[in-house]
Structure formats: structure tokens, C-alpha cells
Amino acid sequence: MLLVLIIEFILAGMVCFLGRKFSIANKIGKFMIKEVFITLFMFMSLNISFSLSLHFQYSTQKPSSNFILSTVAGILGLCFYIVSLYLLEFTNKK
């Protein structure tokens, strides 16, 4: 999924580069960066949420260092997605 996200960024960058000469390409590039990226981003956040729920469902509840480390990493990753989505949606509405 990360590879799909990187390919989308590369394609959107190329279309935006073409947008310097063609105005329609600029609109398409901005659409790809905003809307398509947010859609992929939300799908990836569903994958993280599903993985975290499986982690909490089937992991041992003993406070081991691996359990604490994976829990903190998962929650930080989910918080990163929420903050990034907020920044993508509510900044630079031009």
C-alpha cells in the first residue's frame, strides 16, 4: 500500500509539473494530491485500525516490553494519521 501511495505522489507531481503549461493538468494534479491522497490515506488508516484491533484482541495482557512497545507504536501511528488527515483537509483551502 505504501508503494501505491508513493506512485500516486509521483504521478501527481508529474501532472502538476505539466500543469505549468496546461491549466487542466494543474487542476487534475491538485485533485490527485488532495482527494486521491486522502482516499488512500483513509484506506491505510483502516488497515492500521484493523491491525491494532487484532493486536489488542489476541495479544497477551501481561505487561511485557514487546506488548507495551507495539501498543505505543500503534497508537502513535494512529495519532499521526489523524493529525495528518486534519492538516490535509483544513489547511490551504485555495
- Per residue in 54-84, pLDDT (tens digit) is 887 887 767 777 788 888 888 887 788 788 7
Residue found by looking up cell 501511528 in the block: 77
Contact 49, 82 (CB under 8 A): no
Q: Domain containing 48: what range?
A: 2-90
**φ, ψ for residue 61, nearest 5 deg:** -90, 5
**Total of domains in the chain:** 1
| Alpha-carbon gap, residue 61 to 68, rounded angstroms | 10
For the chain, give the percent of residues with pLDDT over 90: 0
- Cβ contacts of 28 within 8 Å, gap of 6 or more: 15, 19
Model pLDDT for residues 15-39, shown as the tens digit of each residue: 888 888 888 887 888 787 778 877 8
Which DSSP category does 19 fall into?
T
